[in-house]
Amino acid sequence: MREFPSCFGENGVQIVGSSSSSTTRAAQNVVTCVYQCKLGDSSSLITISWTKTLMGQGFSVGINDLGKVDIKPWLFSKRKGSKNLEVQSSKVDIFWNLSCAKFGSGPEPLEGFYLAVLFNQEMVLLLGDLKREACKKIDCDTATYAHSGGTFIAKREHIFGKKFYGAKAQFCDKGQVHDVTLECDTVGLIDPCLVIRIDSKTVMKVKRLKWKFRGNHTILVDGVPVEVFWDVHNWLFGNAMGNAVFMFQTCISTQKLWPGQSVSDPSELTWAYSQQFRDSQLQGLGFSLILYAWKNE
């Protein structure tokens, strides 16, 4: 499978190789989120990448590949502040406060923070649970912002395990948060099996995985069709430290749902098919979650 449809670049998801342990470790500590926002009269994509290194936490904010601000990892500084950049002759201001932020095992803050993006002094994106504090700091009306916030459309992250791999997922903006579990034991088994569960309920099972190491199938979550793409080639035939890639993409049409149908034989995704999903995301019609699943030693 050459690529998955995504908002993370025209070439789709690139499967990370395992030849360099330092590169692998660096990639494992990044979570990237994409939001569709109204910047002036046009719809634009704002990309937030959260990072974690030995030096601490950090993040970057990108606007449509036209401008980017990097807040490097900190230990005792840069936990709050502001920066600005110019995008197409317009001013973009970024305000953040992570001095009381709480983190889990990953680089993305869970609570106790805010991150705000302003375009020509108008708030276009506000993240975190300290929205009131953010609006007070920036002198912005919370009621006014509530009608102009960005839409969460894509996320990419790295997860780890030996047999079980877990992640949290919202399959629509401001929707219910679900537990996503991937189960696959490839050690010493002649015929491995892949099982995917949503909130502990089995929604998909792929048998004869050595023959179906790449493929796609549609499941139903919250009444919404979600197409699942998988590529576990590295788990089965690659280096022991290789990663598998999974993508959960909300479907645009319910015609793509095949009730009761078993998983079909895997086939390569064509560029035209990938572009169809990417275009739908740019129009705010779909959400994608991309998971890199790494096997622990």
With a CB cutoff of 8 Å and minimum separation 6, the contacts of 75 are 55, 56
Euclidean distance between CA atoms 3 and 44, whole angstroms: 23
Q: How many domains does the chain have?
A: 2
Q: Do residues 121 and 71 both lie within one domain?
A: yes
Same domain, 142 and 230: no
The pLDDT score that the predictor gives to residue 89 is 83
**147 occurs within a structural domain:** yes
Beta strand 102-103 pairing with 109-111:
antiparallel
Residues 145 and 163 in one domain: no
Do residues 147 and 173 share a domain? no
Q: What pTM value is reported for the model?
A: 0.77
Considering the domain architecture, whether residues 172 and 92 belong to the same structural domain is answered as no
Choosing from 105, 125, 152, the residue where a domain stops is 152
**Residue 256 is assigned to a structural domain of this protein:** yes
Torsion sign (Cα): 142, 143, 147, 148: negative
| Predicted local confidence at residue 256, as pLDDT | 41
What is the distance between the alpha carbons of residues 241 and 296, in angstroms, rounded to a whole number?
7
* Average confidence (pLDDT) over 212-232: 91
* Structure tokens belonging to residue 93: 């201001």
Residues 81 and 164 in one domain: no
> Do 50 and 95 reside in the same domain of the chain?
yes
Q: Is 21 helix (H, G, I), strand (E, B) or coil?
A: helix
- The pLDDT tens digits of the residues spanning 265-287 come to 333 332 333 344 444 444 445 78
Tokens 């869970």 belong to residue: 110
Residue 8 domain-assigned? no
Let me know whether 133 and 185 are in one domain: no
Q: pLDDT at position 262, please?
A: 33
Task: State which residues form the domain around 199.
Answer: 159-295
Same domain, 183 and 249: yes
**Would residue 17 count as lying in a domain?**
no
* pLDDT single digits (tens) 93-127: 999 999 999 988 789 999 999 999 999 888 899 99
If asked whether residues 91 and 217 sit together in one domain, one would say no
Residue 98 lies in a domain: yes
Residues 146 and 216 reside in one and the same domain: no
Do 96 and 193 belong to one domain? no
Q: How many CB atoms are closer than 10 A to CB 256?
A: 13
Residue 203 — pLDDT band, cuts 50, 70, 90? Answer: very high
Choose the final residue of a domain: 124, 152, 180: 152
Residue 120 placed within a domain: yes
3-state secondary structure of 286: coil
At 165-193, the pLDDT tens digits run 999 888 876 778 899 999 998 776 778 89
Please give the angle made by the CA atoms of 208, 210 and 213, to the nearest 5 degrees: 100
Cβ contacts of residue 72 below 8 Å, gap of 6+? 55, 58, 78
Q: What is the dihedral of CA 141, 63, 153, 107, to 10 degrees?
A: -90
In a domain, 14, yes or no: no
Cα distance between residue 274 and residue 15, in whole Å: 16
Choose one of 152, 183, 205: the last residue of a domain.
152
